[in-house]
Amino acid sequence: MEESTSRLITQISDEFGCSAILHRRFPQIVHPGLLQGEVHPTFVTYLAILGHELGYYAVAELPISNRSKQIFHDKTGINKREPDSVWLRAEGFKPVLFAEYEGIEDERGFESKLRSLIEAFNDAEQKPACLLLAWWRKQGQLQAMEFARAQKIYTKGFAHPSTGILVPPPPVPLLIWEACFRSVRERWTFTHFTHTSTWNKH
């Protein structure tokens, strides 16, 4: 792993470990808390701000598809690739991170978001050095078997459901962090991030 990638992972881990920037820029996540519909846009905005504060050029929902060479399509033949947050180096604008933040209802939602992130990596002309999947769930936890199945998808790749083409595994680290909340009078109050796992292609 390159030194710059290790530094990026350390920067993300340090912030998610204490959430200092999150609390400073978004105090409302603790009081009065967020309505359910506010959680996703708030954290997508946070990812962009975090990227800027860490010294990157960060953009929300930046289209990254190399459309002239795109091979992974949905049934309509159109598949927009716009990760929730794309971090680029300030000089040269080379991507260093594709990030997704998603509320997960069940294991299918987790796998679906993971597949989208893998497809985005493969479809991008310039590949990032790292991927991030941050997630939250209103109730319950994903089970070990569900994570094992998702990890196999990330490390081995998968057949695209529409085309049957093998979508290869990204040869870069995937950071997985869970954003934990508690429900208070129909609002969701952020408590902390939990490092779920870091996966690498085998």
pLDDT at 2: 80
Q: What does the pLDDT read at residue 28?
A: 95
Number of other CB atoms surrounding residue 109 within 10 Å: 15
DSSP the chain: --HHHHHHHHHHHHHHHH-HHHHHH-GGGTTT-B-HHHHHHHHHHHHHHHHHHTTSEEEET---B-TTT-----TTS------SEEEE-TTT--EEEEEEEEE-SSHHHHHHHHHHHHHHHHHBSS--SEEEEEEE-SSS---HHHHHHHHHHHHH-EE-TTT--EEPPPSS-EEEEEEEEEEETTEEEEEEEEEEEEE---
Tens digits of pLDDT across the chain (202 residues): 687 899 999 999 999 999 999 999 999 999 999 999 999 999 999 999 999 999 999 999 988 866 545 555 554 444 567 899 999 998 888 999 999 998 887 667 888 889 999 999 998 989 999 999 999 887 666 777 778 889 999 999 999 888 888 999 999 999 999 999 999 888 999 999 999 899 986 5
The token duo for 160 is 């695209």
pLDDT at 68: 45
